[in-house]
Structures are given as structure tokens and as C-alpha cells.
Amino acid sequence: MSDTTFDYIIIGAGTAGCLLANRLSVDASKRVLLIEAGRKDDYHWIHIPVGYLYCIGNPRTDWLYNTEPDAGLNGRSLRYPRGKTLGGCSSINGMIYMRGQARDYDQWAQLLGDATWGWNHCLPYFMLHEDHHKGANALHGARGATPELMHKNGNLYRKLLRHHNAGGEWRVEKQRLRWDVLDAFAKAAVQSGIPATNDFNRGDNEGVGYFEVNQKAGWRWNTAKAFLRPTCYARPNFELWNSAQASKLLLEPASAGGGPLRCTGVQVWDGSSMVEALARAEVILCAGSIGSPQILQLSGLGPAQRLQSLGVPVAKDIPGVGENLQDHLQIRAVFKVKNTTTLNTQANSLLGKAKIGLEFALKRSGPMSMAPSQLGAFTRSDPAQPYPNLEYHVQPLSLEAFGQPLHSFNAITASVCNLNPTSRGTVHIRSARFEDAPAIAPNYLSTDGDRKIAADSLRLTRAIMAQPAMQPFTPEEYKPGVQFQSDTELAKLAGDIATTIFHPVGTTKMGHEDDAMAVVDGRLKVHGVAGLRVVDAGVMPLITSGNTNSPTLMIAEKAAQWIMEDAYAEMKG
């Protein structure tokens, strides 16, 4: 850490941070620092797909957050995993490649009055880094095929990307196993009126099918592999600090002439002392929907009254920092099944575990190559819904709660979540100490609409399980239990059995400066603070209709271009 002045400082080596480090360091004239609080991703369970079971709840790879007790969950508090290692959440998540629905991005564009956030403008940025197993086509990118964004001569940034053969880093593959009982669930879903699909990522994800995953030859493919190694490590203008936690941003007050507050760097705890890193151009917060609002608030950027009550000097009153938290709440219905084998009984003996391990060792397939959820479905909670508002994650296993042993009987879990919840939560610091975890309050099921959709989604799950295709397996509802039928009963039971599906977004949302709750503008610059952007899932004004990892990569891809374009414009100016 001898020379601690850089052009760009990226805080958080997670999903967005790794891509940004790759893209910004293509310009050899720019020094780039990537800061990660966690350790390197050299823990073996990160790379074995089923290893998420050993990464979540493990201080080696997880921040170990918990939510505040939640009234919508009948007073329960949830474990709230967030990745703390190179790759961030892409090192511990479910590996599902999902863009969401075209309408998500069109809504963003409408809210911002900015067409560049619409689906047609975002799609090429998904495709730029995509390496799809089927190869390149009108909807998917692939390594070796020239992405659409590279076809045009473009600006200096795109020329640099072409020169470095960038693009196609993010591998998307088919899963390497199937289950008879999941095939039957898919048929039952079709019988209930949900169409079959082999591609959830075309802009309309309605349908049922097996998820595609971010894996390569049976191993997890995280963003550290995709974007840092070996590319960034080989660049002399790139530097990585791991096991280094950002404690607060360095801010310079507005000049006498009335200019904006400016972010000039970051204060970092390296495990033994505080170190300051300075940025000539920009500091880019990529610490995620929990970490980024925490760092902003610790730096005096947030709701003034709350910060003052904690003894944090207020640099700028930004009321929306930590507000607007949105998440997908999965309601885990469990059904006992017969005449088949599920993971519950496959893995309940030493012999069964040995067979599973041998299959992975020899073929890189079988249960150890599993994403947490294999089969997915997108549909409507009732026919009057104008678009699919539910997502199913279906698993050939069951347990009482995450982190507990599998049940001793054969069963499947059909988790269903409301894709567009209207409940809103918060992320707030508890003290002025960077070591203290923030208070996370999702406020699940706090609106009538969310409670009604929860009840309707459980009824739909029952309807699917009652279809002819499932009857050879004699499904028996174990959770929540057939005795519960009314909206009130089902909404309360949803609160008893539901848990996060790990998709927090929105806590530093994009919006116009006249929107009091907006934190960043349409180019992700923090309102009223020069030299500072937020680039992670927190900037989403509305949650996407699906898993949130891939949309976060797209956001980072767009941000990288804007950051470099701004730098070149300043050089010319």
C-alpha cells in the first residue's frame, strides 16, 4: 500500500465490482484499486455448486447479517446472507441466470424519463459479457462472437474493449442433472395452464422449465473467475486490497464558489490500521444493497436527523439512503412424495453421500453440481394479473429451515415468491462504528396486496400439485397444511414458513434530483456529491421480476461505459 493514489477506487469486489475493475483497467493510463472486505475466493466450497450450503452462515464467506424481527413474519428474524469474499454474492448465490422481464426496464426508463434504461437499450449490455451455451443469437451473446456493442466503431472505450478481446466472460450453461419428480412438476404446471419454455431470458419469462446457471463444466462460475483472473491480475495498473474494509468515504466540502461536495477517497481498515486511498477521478461504491447505504451513512450521507442522533456529522442530507428496500420473499411449501427418490433419502447415508461425491468427481454432475433450485416457473397469481407476478423455485429436497438437516422422508419444496412486492423496508446504521452491522428491516407482507398474493400463490401451488402428472407420486402437503384455507390463514402461515430468497435491492435508488428519496441520478452519480457513484443492486428503483444477479452485472456494464466516457470528455475539455 505504498502508493495509495488511484484514478478509480471501487469499493466491493462482488458482482458489480469485479466487472467494473475489468472494464476500467483496460485503459493502461488509469490506476484502478479494488477493495474487498472479505478474503480471496480460495475456499473450496465456493466453487463446488452445492457448496453454498457451507458458505451461507460461514464467517469465511458471509457477512452473517440478520433482519430485525418482522411483524409480517409473525415476529421472526431471518438470516440474511451477503457474500464476503471475492465475487461477493456471486460466490454464494443460487447461480441462476435470470434477466427479468422487459417491462422491468421499461418501467425504469419511464420513471427516469431516460430511454437508455429501457429493455431494448439494456439487452446489448447483458449480451456483451454473456457466454451462452447455445452460442450467439439475437437474444444471447457468446465468447468468440462479436457483441452488438462492438460492431460499431464507437468511442475510445469500445475500441479498448475490442483491443483487449473483452466480452463473453459470463458463462451460462444448462444444468447437469434432472429429476423425475421435477419433470412431473413441470408437466403438472403445463396442465394447470403454464406454458413450457426453454428460455426465461427473452424479455417475457412466463413459463416453466429448468433454470440456466452460471457454471462452467460443473463448477460455479463467479465474477472473480470471470472478470478478475487472470485478466486484471496481469495488468500493472490494477491493484486489489482484500481483507480490507471501507470504514467511510473521504469528502471535501463545497468550495467557496458554491461547487458540490466532492468525494476524494476512502478510509480503509486493513486489519491493523486505518489507511487512506485517494481517487483522482471517481470513487465507485459496489458494496451492495446493504453495504453501500451503510458506508454512505457512516460518511455522513443520509437522513440528517437519524445520522445526528447517532453522532455522525452530516455532510449532506440525503433522505433516501437506506430506504426503499425491496426483496423477494419465498413461501416454501413442502410436499411429501412416494414412488421416487429425492435428495432427502439419497443423501441420508454414508453410502449415498459417497455415491454423490463419486459422481461429481468423475462426471462433474449429480447433486453436488446442483444449483439450490433446479426447476423454475413464472406465472400469474390470478388470471386478472396483466403479467407474470410469481416465480417458483422447485427443489427435490425439503428441510424445516435453511441450515437444518434434510427431512428423513422423500419430499419436494415448491417455493413461490411475489415478483413485484409493494412492501418497502429500510437499512440503517445502528451506530457510528463501521464494525457494527446495520439494522435490516424488510417489512415483509406489510401491505394488503402482498398478503393477498401470498395467499393466492399458495392456492396455485396446491392446484399444480393436484394435476394428473403429479399423482403417481401421491403428493401430500406437509407445509403449510391443508387445514389452512382462508386468505387470513394462508397469509399468516406464509409469515410462518416464508424466508428471503436473497434479492435485496433499491436502497440507493435511481431517480430525479427532485425526488426526495432518490440517491443517484440516471448515470448513477450520487446527487449533490461529485466524484461518487453507486453501482450495485441498490440503484434499482423497482425490483426486477426474477433473480437479481444478472441485472446487477448489466448495470455495471452500462456504468463502466459512462465512467470512461466522462473521463475522456474531461480530457478533451
**Of 443, 419, 449, which is closest to residue 543 (Cα–Cα)?**
419
**Of 265, 222, 216, which is closest to residue 8 (Cα–Cα)?**
265
Distance of CA 317 to the CA centre of its chain: 28
Q: What is the DSSP string of 470-492?
A: GGGG--EEEES-TT--SHHHHHH
Any bridge partners for residue 246, and if so which? 268
How many CB atoms sit inside 10 A of residue 64's CB?
15
Distance separating alpha carbons of residues 295 and 533, to the nearest angstrom: 12
Question: What's the Cα-to-Cα distance from 276 to each of 266, 269, 435, rounded to whole Å?
Answer: 6, 9, 17
Assess whether the previous peptide bond of 475 is cis (omega < 30° from 0). no
Nine cell digits for residue 141? 451473446
Backbone angles phi, psi at 109, to 5 degrees: -60, -40
Backbone angles phi, psi at 539, to 5 degrees: -80, -10
How many CB atoms sit inside 10 A of residue 234's CB?
9
Residue with cell 400439485: 465
Residue with cell 419444496: 413
Distance separating alpha carbons of residues 283 and 506, to the nearest angstrom: 20
Assess whether the previous peptide bond of 293 is cis (omega < 30° from 0). no
Distance separating alpha carbons of residues 529 and 299, to the nearest angstrom: 12
Q: Is 157 exposed, middle or buried (0-12, 13-18, 19+ CB in 10 A)?
A: buried
Give 296's contacts (C-beta < 8 A, 6+ positions apart). Answer: 249, 285, 302, 318, 321, 322, 508, 519, 526, 534
Catalytic residues: 503
